[in-house]
Amino acid sequence: MTLLEEIWKDKIIAIVRGIPSGYMLPLADALSAGGIVMLEVTFDQRSREGIQETLRSIEQLRKERADKVAVGAGTVLTPQQVRDACEAGARYIITPNVDPDVIAQAKRCQMVVMAGAYTPTEIERAYRAGADIVKVFPAKAAGADYIKAVHAPLAHIPLAAVGGVDVGNIAGFFKAGVCSVGVGGCLVDKKEIQRGDFAQITEKAKAFVEALPL
């Protein structure tokens, strides 16, 4: 099974943002125990140290949990960050925008690309540039009805919903036509992680998986 096929099968990508590398292994264990095995570790673009911390987390997951989770890099903004993420062990990249140079670099690195877009023009541009999946971002602001309307003429383009996806609305986004979703703070909660409540994260992961439409 290819990585792209895995994304289509597993459907949910956990967005790991602002979590120190020291928590990555128990977090990966908690999410995978709940049935979520796709982890997007986002670049912290605010500082060089933040960027390096992201790469440390990706490398750690590749070395220690490659048998449990498929790790990707998120908030990727430059071709150099694509190369760095690939070297650290990321298998896919996720961007918040449409940057043909970033997409092209990812394809040269043989990585799956999910590029962020909002309008039909941006979605088509991202797909034409080589994105394997186009994420509609922010999805909650757009709503499932918007995605359904956009998907009708662009049904050949695989879409993902990212930004505001929760247990209550996840099924609606899939019914609207997306192939996957990204879930952030309502799943990967910093306070729960800091106090070591990984069992709660596992239970939330299970709830998201159970909320998927049959």
3-class SS shares of the chain: helix, strand, coil, % to 5 = 50, 15, 35
Catalytic residue among 40, 53, 59, 124: 40
**Would you call 135 a catalytic residue per the annotation?**
yes
Catalytic residue among 11, 53, 59, 135: 135
**Secondary structure E strands in the chain:** 12-16, 38-42, 70-74, 92-94, 112-117, 133-136, 159-162, 180-183
Location of structure tokens 């062990």: 89
**Would you call 175 a catalytic residue per the annotation?**
no
Question: In b/e form, how buried is each residue of 48-79, taking b as 16+ CB within 10 angstroms?
Answer: eeebebbbbbbbbbeeebeebbbbbbbbbeeb
CB 7 within 8 A of CB 40: no
Residue type (1 letter), 175 = K
| Catalytic center residues | 40, 135
